[in-house]
Structure 1
Amino acid sequence: MPANQRRLGTSSESYPISPTLENDISANLRLCSLLSTVEQQDNTQEPGDLGELEQQLSSMLSLRSWVSTTPSNAQQHTAAQSRRTSAFKKIGAGACGAIYAQDGKSLVVKVSKANDDSLWNDYKMHTRISSMFSKGGFREIKIPEVYFFVPRDDPRYFEHNPELAQAASQVCNLPASVLVSERILPLAKRTRKLLIEKYCAPRIKQAAFSDTANRDCLVRPYLGSMQGKIGGLFFSLRNFKMHLNQMVYLRLDVESMASSMGTAMAIMHWEARTDARDVEFVLGSSSKKTSAQLSLEELEKIQHPTYTGPPSYITEDFFHRSTDLWLLDFNQVRMITMDEAGVAQAVEAARINDPYLPKPLGDSDIEKIIWNAFSEHYIRAADFILADSQGLLRLPRLFIRGLIEAQEEKKKRDF
């Protein structure tokens, strides 16, 4: 990023764009047929008032809202911090590996199921994309900290963590490679209960409440799908899929989510120069960490040595959690070239990913509004990143056009 560029954000005011470039962006947006005429309105407005359950759920799923956790749950994590070791439990799995966590620790261990190459690529691309987010000062979407990698032929990590070896041996063939990163904490117990009350079929609600796997709750925001339904035969809060129509009903700020996703995709494409293949966006939570230090002014007012830690007197405060939009899963991400072939690769990756991104050519006003927000912030962020490479400014526009053409072809097939 050039020295004169500072920070990326989701609001247009965050971009130091000249009037000439601003006009050029608008012109190119129109040329790419991005914008539809949409009457500006409250994009989450639904007839009537929400019930008490929906109001609470809306509040708890709103980005950067703080939720107080139940004392029993927070105390469980707090007590685990004082123990030297605690059991590892599997909280997720995918083609790349199985994921384990411990109570009281905000880290996860991904143990490879197959070979080192996929997990090593996960490590490299995670680090690459995270560093580019930090470089641009983009914080609207969080990326877990990536800590370290352990290759298959180094046995010492499992020797020092026998609890992990015991848990992983039930799923993975040890020895195996390991990637350690920050854990995205599940949504709070109260949020999980409300999700079950709202979306689970009555005949299986009790089973859902009792299923310990549902404690590991992350929500996938599918802005590209209006197919959300209630009452299926299967229900799980692990990677719970919440579709656009459901988010609109809860009056969540989907336009802000779309804007943030647009900026995030531009960073992954044009700053990190990757295709963002199979990445995931999820709503999860963060605990209060002790890294929030007193300011110098606050400290100088204190006359005697005084406790300055969190009110809970623990290293990590699990009693309060913030709801955040996270980006994760980088094992399938690949580098792209800065040309039409790279654009085609990025379009294909976006096409086969889960429907996190808004889709063009939607029928409803809200689909048009969030597509406009996504595409406009994508172009703005890309132009910001490529400001010193004027010859490349056509590439992000080709990506947007590629998404439109892919959706046109899909509509023809479905007709």
Structure 2
Amino acid sequence: MRARAEIDLGALRANVRALRARAPRAQLMAVVKADAYGHGMLPCARAALAAGADWLGTATPQEALALRAAGIRARLLCWLWTPGGPWREAIEADIDVSVGGMWALDEVLDAARAGGRTARIQLKADTGLGRGGCQPADWPELVGAAVAAEAEGLADVTGIWSHFACADEPGHPSIAAQQARFDEAIAYAEKAGLSPEVRHIANSPAVLTLPEAQYDLIRPGVALYGISPVPQLGSAADFGLRPVMTLSARLGLVKHVPAGHGVSYGHHYVTPTETTLGLVPLGYADGVPRHASGKGPVLVGGRLRRVAGRVAMDQFVVDLEGDELLPGAEAVLFGPGDRGEPTAEDWAGAADTIAYEIVTRIGPRVDRVYVNEEPDDQQPDDQQSDDR
């Protein structure tokens, strides 16, 4: 195998349980968008449900519909909609859909009428992030229309939700301001006659640092996969989490070169002495960030090395410093870090980005290999939708 991303489903299940323990009175939504942050949506969704997740969350309707097509019947929220989206298909698949404006409510209600089904909707309030969601000035109109839709039998408002902008910066003044606006949005909706099943705003950093923001449901994403959303406060291990992905490859070539030999495009690395080079068959087409050229850490032959020169599309080189290794030797780019290997956070530092991006960008040419599976991870129908 050229390269592999080993996905430890046992670690994922343990992370679900650890996060649930932080909010014992709240339901847990496992966010599996973006192919479960690069880990594989279907296996991770099933493992999370087997570990006790109550809901799944996706960004796109295509992701949500793929879960249903695979036989997964758990409660499911999908939030990234554009005009003309597959509203009717989502309604028929018992998917809760997010509504953050009148255009979206109009479209989902048209789909409900056309299909003769009640739509399950969750109203999203923009409390300060400035992305999706309804602005406070427009909230009364949206709530009023949702109340009317419930009275007509076209919609069931199952939730009210929002998203923090700076929860990964504990103490940021926007956090308290957003929570106050969220409370105001909930109070207005409930006074208008809505009775949402779940109210939620807590993403991964909020789950770990803001117990007052748990409400009825927590919505962890990257923390499920064992990555700390607040590395300035603690590592994954400090929060009782374990990284789920280990990325490795086999050296495709080992060769001796003289001192002064240029390496990779632009010769940004020149061997200082006679040495041995190892070719790692992963590149930016596989998600290895080019910005980590000359800096990305790799464990090879029991020693920590750095990318020598530029990361290319399909490969990069490490200077083995004369060590006599053979083609096929393992090169570990990142993992939990407890065997001397780098972590996704180390690569994020090398590429001046966040660990979320490091794992999510690992591409389809890298085989996912699932370990520590349990029988329940394989059951597509073990979680049934709560048909209301």
Which bracket does the TM-score occupy, shorter chain normalised?
under 0.3
Greater share of helix: 1
Where relative contact order (Cα < 8 A, 6+ residues apart) is larger, the structure is 1
Answer with 1 or 2: which has the greater Rg: 2
TM-score of the two chains, using structure 1 as the length reference: 0.25
TM-score of the two chains, using structure 2 as the length reference: 0.26
